[in-house]
Amino acid sequence: MRSPDTKQSPVTRRALLASTAGVAAGVVGTTGTAAAQSPTATVMTQNAYLGFDVAELLRAESLAEVRSITGGFLDGIEPALYAARADSIAAAVENSDADVVALQEAVLLRRQQPGDYATDSSAAAADVVVDLLDRVRTALTERGLDYAVAAESVANDFELPAETDDGPVDLRITDRDVLLVRSDLDTGEPVTATYDASLELPIPESDRTLPITRGYGAVDVTVGGVDLRAVSTHLESAAPQFRRRQARELLDALPAGRPVVVCGDLNSAPGEAAHDVLTRSLTDPYAELRPDANGATCCQAKDLRNEESLLDRRIDTLLYRGPVTPTAIRRVGYQPSDRTPVEVGGETVRVWPSDHAGVVGTFDLSGSGPSPATASRTAPGTATTRPGTPSAGPPSSPSTATGASGSGFTAGSAILGVLAGAGAWLHRRTQ
């Protein structure tokens, strides 16, 4: 049996279903429609990797050291490397055929030169160095994939002073948690927020502090007439007590009695405090479906150039609750073959997509019933596709109708057989 962590070929669920839709159309035209498939949602989470550990500033003992640490990061930024990594992430999205993609550290880096840090000037750095979210979206578009930003939470937005060969520069780091959703799916009720529990780092030899805030973005995604609440979050890395408090804040913000999938970098593995706080209310599908598998997601070397994987902690995950059933879960971007070649300084190097592996899960939503908005417009026993909009399920999936019954291999049973075979094929591909 193929391991769930084995790389997939680019043949997608939607492509297969589209190929069966033509058969469905020919049969349904004469005998009525076949039973609709159970709604399922495929969700992917990925820490896209800023490339800089702000916690390094904790060791700085002077403002000059802060400038040196930040300057070293700024001098080492290679836009081509970010573009190559973004394309690797887009490839994982394409291969997993995700309906929802949660990104953490979808960073926007801007600079100002000369820098005016610690002066009376209020001008913010505005010259874009790297926009990682834009890079990912561009890579998706180049692959013919259409995803919309359904929620974008700005977790951090601060400036640091940097000393470079060209003099003082200010580096502005805007850190975002994002939810990308297939553009043919309806979304609603987007919420973005930051946690009250936040860390502040003192800047040596100044009266300034560096606030490290964390947050989340959430949105309802309608799949097959069912509303799934998807959340992207990134909990604090440097202080366990803040992680625990943020986990409690997140639980308080989640809706009750509805399907919810929390996607994110928790910076907390099973058996550690924040993860355990969350799993008192949410369920970990990796523990359910693959209790003996190595699901480690963190962390590769800082420069991403290590040949062998260094992943040893499972801190990136999909957690769920409500009337939803996980059917498959696996990692992406964790195999040496996932590294991509990129030319840096005249040298070709191979880098990992991120210092984290991504996680992809598929969830059966058939136990949830239609969303309230859909149910109010739909008579009992009829399809739940919204009139005038694309189907919230897979494209061209047949709608529900009552057909003639009888013995023998009728046209209705033929189309059900085709779709059942497709479903079995897809199930095998995710195992």
Low-confidence residues in the chain, pLDDT < 50: 1-4, 6-11, 15-35, 372-431
Q: Give residue 214's identity as a one-letter amino acid code.
A: R
Does residue 360 contact residue 96 with C-beta atoms inside 8 Å?
yes
Q: Give residue 79's identity as a one-letter amino acid code.
A: P
The pLDDT, as a whole number, for residue 406 is 36
Report the 10 Å Cβ neighbour count for 413. 18
The pLDDT, as a whole number, for residue 59 is 80
The pLDDT, as a whole number, for residue 18 is 43
The pLDDT, as a whole number, for residue 154 is 95
Q: At what angle do helices 411-429 and 13-31 cross, to 10 degrees?
A: 170
Report the 10 Å Cβ neighbour count for 211. 13
The pLDDT, as a whole number, for residue 370 is 59
Query: Any long-range contacts for 8-13 (C-beta under 8 Å, 24+ apart)?
Result: 8/95, 8/96, 8/429, 9/95, 10/94, 10/95, 12/94, 12/95, 12/97, 13/42, 13/97, 13/394, 13/426
Q: At what angle do helices 132-142 and 79-96 cross, to 10 degrees?
A: 50
The pLDDT, as a whole number, for residue 116 is 86
The pLDDT, as a whole number, for residue 54 is 76
Q: What are the φ and ψ backbone dihedral angles of 238, each rounded to 5 degrees?
A: -90, -20
- Across 213-339, where does the E strand assignment appear? 215-223, 226-234, 260-265, 316-321, 325-332
The pLDDT, as a whole number, for residue 26 is 41
Cis bond before residue 114 (omega within 30° of 0): yes
Q: What SS3 state is found at 93?
A: helix
Q: What is the pLDDT of residues 226-262, one digit of tens each?
A: 999 999 999 999 889 999 999 999 999 999 989 999 9
Q: What is the pLDDT of residues 169-224, one digit of tens each?
A: 999 999 999 999 999 999 999 999 999 999 888 888 888 888 899 999 999 999 99
Distance in angstroms (rounded) separating the CA atoms of residues 266 and 282: 13
CA 34 to chain centre: 33
Cis bond before residue 298 (omega within 30° of 0): no
**Considering the entire predicted model, what is its pTM?**
0.78
The pLDDT, as a whole number, for residue 368 is 66
